[in-house]
A and B are shown apart, each in its own frame.
Chain A
Amino acid sequence: MMVDIDQYLDNEEQTVVIVMTSGPSAPNRCATPFYLGSVLASMDIEVHIFFTMEGVRLMEKGVAEELAAIEGGKRIIEFIRDAKRAGVTLHVCQPALPGYRIEPASDLIDEVDRVARASELADLVLRCDKVITF
């Protein structure tokens, strides 16, 4: 049996930044960034997801554990853990936290890698190969 050449992976190593602004008010938008991030990371892509605006709420303890993109579906926390296992780095926008009364020292889930300033997002965007927004 011959293999279709498209079934083999042959991409260059790149860096992708996913800017996540959606949060619990739009649950149908909350799984895909992690799923896509997992796929990209398993293709040797360096993936950073930067949560800002309402997106920061997905990193708040107790939120992703109770949220699913579709009724009865896989919980968002499981998508987050899949992405982490695949090698995705999670950044939370520090300036967005006070507006949601989220205390970075005590209220964020363990999966968060960094609490970052807006300038760090700017740096990521300027040095990466692709930016995707949700």
Chain B
Amino acid sequence: MECNGCEFNPELYYDAEYQIWLRREHDDSLTVGMTDISQTIAGKILHVRVRRPGTIRTPGKPVATIESGKWAGPIPNFMHCTILEGNPEVLENPVLLNSDPYNAWIARVEAAHSADHALEQFLTGDAAYEGYCKRARDEDIHCQRKVR
């Protein structure tokens, strides 16, 4: 599925601004990544740094820091969680976030209560698709996943 060329996966969970996606893993941990919209806005990503494993994050405290040639900022976090690991492939080769945003996860976290509880505040499925498309259309965002 896509909108304005921006890829969308209905099985993932998204924040209200469609900056990040989350996926529940088999062990009930959550992987966090950037949406196609986010990587497009950022441009070619040059550097990623994740909070040290074991670090407790509260809502509003970022999971990671991203730098591109024209943008710098956080990978936002909306829940109480503990960092389990960063994705070594992405840390080594950040441009994967541009070329394959839904496979190139950035960090794996453990929610403080449960994955179910944490995911309640995120959007998924048709509702998420509607909001995702609205943002792409309203802001005239046309995604490109080729390395720029």
Bound: A73/B72 CA distance, A: 15
Cβ A43 vs Cβ B52 within 8 A: no
Q: Does A41 make an interface contact (CB < 8 A)?
A: yes
Contact A7 B72 (CB under 8 A): no
Question: B53 an interface residue at 8 Å Cβ cutoff?
Answer: yes
Does the CB pair A39–B72 fall under 8 Å? yes
Give the interface SS of chain B, mostly helix, strand, loop or mixed: strand
Q: Do B86 and A82 touch across chains, with their CB atoms under 8 A apart?
A: no
The residues of A that contact B52 with a CB separation of less than 8 Å are 8-10
User: Interface 1/0s, chain B 70-83, versus A by CB < 8 A?
Assistant: 11111100000000
A3 at the interface (CB under 8 A from B): yes
Taking a contact as CB atoms under 8 Å apart, the answer to whether B50 and A7 are in contact is yes
Q: Mark B39-73, 1 if CB is under 8 A from A, else 0.
A: 00000000011111101000001101111001111
B11: Cβ under 8 A from any A Cβ: no
Contacts of B50 in A (CB 8 A): 7-9
Q: Tell whether, in the assembled complex, residue B86 and residue A44 are in contact, meaning their CB atoms are under 8 Å apart.
A: no
B2 interfacial contact with A, CB 8 Å = no
14 contacts between A and B (CB under 8 A): A1-B88, A1-B92, A3-B91, A4-B92, A7-B49, A7-B91, A8-B52, A8-B53, A10-B51, A38-B71, A39-B67, A42-B62, A42-B75, A82-B73
Name the 6 nearest CB pairs between A and B, nearest first.
Answer: A42-B74, A1-B88, A38-B72, A7-B91, A10-B52, A42-B65
Binding site for A on B (CB under 8 A): 48-53, 55, 61-62, 64-67, 70-75, 85-86, 88-89, 91-92
